[in-house]
A and B are shown apart, each in its own frame.
Chain A
Amino acid sequence: MNGVCFMALTREEVEHIAQLARLALTEDEKEMFRSQLSAILSYAERLQELDTDAIPPTAHAVDVQGVMRDDVVHPSLPRDAALANAPQAQDGFVIVPTVLEEHA
Chain B
Amino acid sequence: MSGAADLVIETTGLTKRLGGRSVLNGIDLAVPRGSVFGFLGPNGSGKTTTIRILLGLASATSGDVRVLGESIPRALQQVLPRVGALVEGPGFYPFLSGTANLLRLDAADRYVSPSTRRQRVDTALERVGLSQAAGKKVGRYSLGMKQRLGIANALLTHRDLIVLDEPTNGLDPQGTREVRHLVRSLTEEGTTVFVSSHLLTEVEQICSHAAVLSAGSLVAQGSLEELRRAGEPRLRVVTPDLPQTHTVLRRLGTTPDDDGASPGAHIITAPLPDGVTPDRIVRELVEAGVRVNGFSVDQAGLEDLFVALTGEGFDVVQ
B is a partner of A? no
Which B residues fall within an 8 A CB radius of A? none
Which A residues fall within an 8 A CB radius of B? none
